Amino acid sequence: MDGAEVVAKILQLEGTDFLTCYPRNPLIDACARLDIRTILSRQERVAVGIADGYSRLHRGRRIGVFAPQSGPGIENAFPGIAQAYSENVPLLIVTGGSAPERRDIRPTFSAVDNCRGVTKWATQITDIKQLPKTLGRAYHMMRNGKMGPVLLEIPESVWSATFEGPLNYTPTRNYRYAPDPDDVAAAAKLLRSAKAPVIFAGQGILYADATAALVELAELLNAPVLTTNPGKSAFPETHLLSLGGAAVSAPKPLKDFLAAADVVFAVGSSLTTTPFGPNMPAGKTVIHAVNDPEDINKDVTAEIGLIGDAGLVLDALLDALRRVGARKPELRRDVRAAKEAWLAEWRPQLTSTETPINQYRVIADLMGVVDRDNTIITHDSGSPREQLLPFWECTVPQSYIGWGKSTQLGHGLGLIMGAKLAAPDKLCINVMGDSAIGMVGMDLETAARNGIAILTIVFNNGVMAAERHTLVTATAKYGAYLVGGNYQKLAEALGVQSFRVERPDDFVAAVTKAIAVTKSGAPALVECIVKEGYDFSRS
């Protein structure tokens, strides 16, 4: 075998279903010869997004792989890798590279040097004999501890070399570890004595398949539960104790109950301070459960730290509480009542008949049309994220892909394609704005060409609404924040059946037709002509 064949065989042994790629990389044909499906995108960072969405839905058990060419290919992929890194998503990037002796000669682009800051590990392989061990280490690192992208740079001399002897490769596995029993006992005691506990849940719950244990703990403590942006859907949002999820915007009760909490149990979240998610108010007593010890006391001081897999942490806490006789109380109803009161304040927007269409009317109607148990939805960055996330109620785990610590415009399109590849029987929806489709819209053709039957909903208001207050003079003089286009026509030209909606009462019929298109195995798009102004739930 040559180097490309070695890597392809290892990917096959690790359960790789498909390879996203663009376009000059020896690994592409090597994978195709092994019947690993190759999906060539129109833009590299969308290909990274596809691998990202696939990895999230498989919770790191199966990992998306992207193969760009050296130089411009890996350079164009940088934003997608940075986004995945900010969300701790495991994915593998296998790129070409220059000969080792030219690595430091300008203008050679070193993928390892330039991507080291946005990967969990980046390394160049200089000898074909290193391939099995290095791939094994890469998969181990992606599957264990705090996850993240790994980049392998392989120069031509390794791709074309001959591998001698048997491969002898054993696929890697995920290892879980549990917290110190003394810390668990202390945490259980503190939670039992808390007067107003709140649970702060992150995406670690999703990766650990720990929703059932989280629900049990919440009910045992009668504690309201909020989720982070990437953790959204980790707790059923139709539950009496759900506060919903938060980006910058959030349901009003989420902020109120968090502000009133005396003890906050954070589980599966790094508690990283970010402008795009819920942050811990000052003065709280915090119990912090996370799988990376470096996150403890990083941005938030913890009274007790629990290091381990979120599922094992929750199981240990439940055992400790049962041992001291904790029993499930009658569930409180004030959390849901507060949420209903907040929704009543927003009902005029959720049911608005105005034109251009109110974005919240679209979200409310969409939530009423789809089967949420069998739907996966994601947003794009900016206004669509802030409008969708507070109001969309998730019913089951992994029905929402939340993201945003880096907020690369357009990342949601690749994410939802990867989700559809991971869960082909689900309705997979991407809600994006006109600025986002301007970044990545050509990759609608990638979905059409590859039969990836996603539904894209575009909010078209012809402006960069979230930036309107930062571009006042530039817009007055030069029209800076004005963007335009007919995205129905664009999508149709790219082979995607599309619908354009200008009146709110027409949306349900259009989206019902679009869903039928996806059921036939093809992508669809609904363009909504929406209002320029916006409101966010931030009070």
pLDDT in tens, the chain (539 residues): 999 999 999 999 999 999 999 999 999 999 999 999 999 999 999 999 999 999 999 998 999 999 999 999 999 999 999 999 999 999 999 999 877 777 777 788 899 999 999 999 999 999 999 999 999 999 999 999 999 999 999 999 999 999 998 999 999 999 999 999 999 999 999 999 999 999 999 999 999 999 999 999 999 999 999 999 999 999 999 999 999 999 999 999 999 999 999 999 999 999 999 888 888 999 999 999 999 999 999 999 999 999 999 999 999 999 999 998 888 999 999 999 999 999 999 999 999 999 999 999 999 999 999 999 999 999 999 999 999 999 999 999 999 999 988 889 999 999 999 999 999 999 999 999 999 999 999 999 999 999 999 999 999 998 887 777 888 999 899 988 888 899 999 999 999 999 999 999 999 999 999 999 999 999 999 999 999 877 899 87
In whole angstroms, give the CA distance from residue 528 to residue 364.
14
Number of domains in the chain: 3
How confident is the model at residue 6, as a pLDDT? 98
Residue 121 domain flag: yes
DSSP state of 532: S
Residues 228 and 290 sit within 8 Å (Cβ to Cβ): no
CA atoms 213, 215, 218, 222: torsion sign:
negative
How confident is the model at residue 532, as a pLDDT? 87
What does the block give as tokens for 185? 């006992």
How confident is the model at residue 533, as a pLDDT? 74
- Residue 320 is which amino acid? A
Do 326 and 360 lie in one domain? The reply is no
Q: Which residues contact 149 (CB under 8 A, 6 or more apart)?
A: 81, 84, 85, 89, 90, 91, 92, 93, 118, 119, 120, 142
Residue 165 domain flag: no
Pick the closest to residue 229 from 243, 244, 247 (CA basis). 247
Do 193 and 100 lie in one domain? The reply is no
Residue 66 sits in which domain range?
3-159
Do 320 and 284 lie in one domain? The reply is yes
Do 145 and 186 lie in one domain? The reply is no
Residue 53 maps to which CATH number?
Answer: 3.40.50.970
- Pairing between strand 263-267 and 285-290? parallel
Residue 248 maps to which CATH number?
Answer: 3.40.50.1220
Which DSSP string do the residues of 295-328 spell out, in sequence order? Answer: GTTSSS--SEEEES-HHHHHHHHHHHHHHTT---
Do 357 and 329 lie in one domain? The reply is no
Q: Which residues contact 468 (CB under 8 A, 6 or more apart)?
A: 475, 481
Residue 258 domain flag: yes
How confident is the model at residue 483, as a pLDDT? 87
What does the block give as tokens for 519? 């059921």
- Residue 523 is which amino acid? P
Do 360 and 267 lie in one domain? The reply is no
Peptide bond before residue 26 is cis, with ω within 30 degrees of 0? no
Residue 341 domain flag: no
How confident is the model at residue 326, as a pLDDT? 84
| HSE-up of residue 285 (Cα within 13 Å, Cβ side) | 12
Do 82 and 195 lie in one domain? The reply is no
pTM of structure: 0.96
Residue 537 domain flag: no
Residues 59 and 68 sit within 8 Å (Cβ to Cβ): no
**What phi and psi values does residue 406 have, to the nearest 5 degrees?**
-110, -35
Pick the closest to residue 234 from 111, 365, 398 (CA basis). 398
How confident is the model at residue 464, as a pLDDT? 82
DSSP state of 21: E
Q: Which residues contact 351 (CB under 8 A, 6 or more apart)?
A: 361, 364
Q: Which residue has the tokens 């301007």?
A: 438
Q: Compute CA 165 distance to the chain's CA centroid, rounded to the nearest angstrom.
A: 40
Q: How far is CA 230 from CA 63, 128, 246, 363, 398, in A?
A: 18, 38, 9, 19, 10
Residues 93 and 118 sit within 8 Å (Cβ to Cβ): no
Run of H or E including 74: helix 72-86
Do 281 and 356 lie in one domain? The reply is no
What does the block give as tokens for 137? 């280490």
Run of H or E including 527: strand 524-529
- Residue 530 is which amino acid? V
**What phi and psi values does residue 363 have, to the nearest 5 degrees?**
-65, -45
Final residue of a structural domain among 303, 333, 363: 333
Residue 376 domain flag: yes
Run of H or E including 348: helix 334-350
Do 379 and 492 lie in one domain? The reply is yes
- Residue 214 is which amino acid? L
C-beta atoms surrounding 157 within 10 Å: 14
Final residue of a structural domain among 276, 307, 333: 333
Residue 225 domain flag: yes
Do 96 and 207 lie in one domain? The reply is no
Do 319 and 406 lie in one domain? The reply is no
In whole angstroms, give the CA distance from residue 418 to residue 223.
34
C-beta atoms surrounding 475 within 10 Å: 16
Do 127 and 240 lie in one domain? The reply is no
Q: Which residues contact 71 (CB under 8 A, 6 or more apart)?
A: 96, 109
- Pairing between strand 524-529 and 427-433? unpaired
Residue 516 domain flag: yes
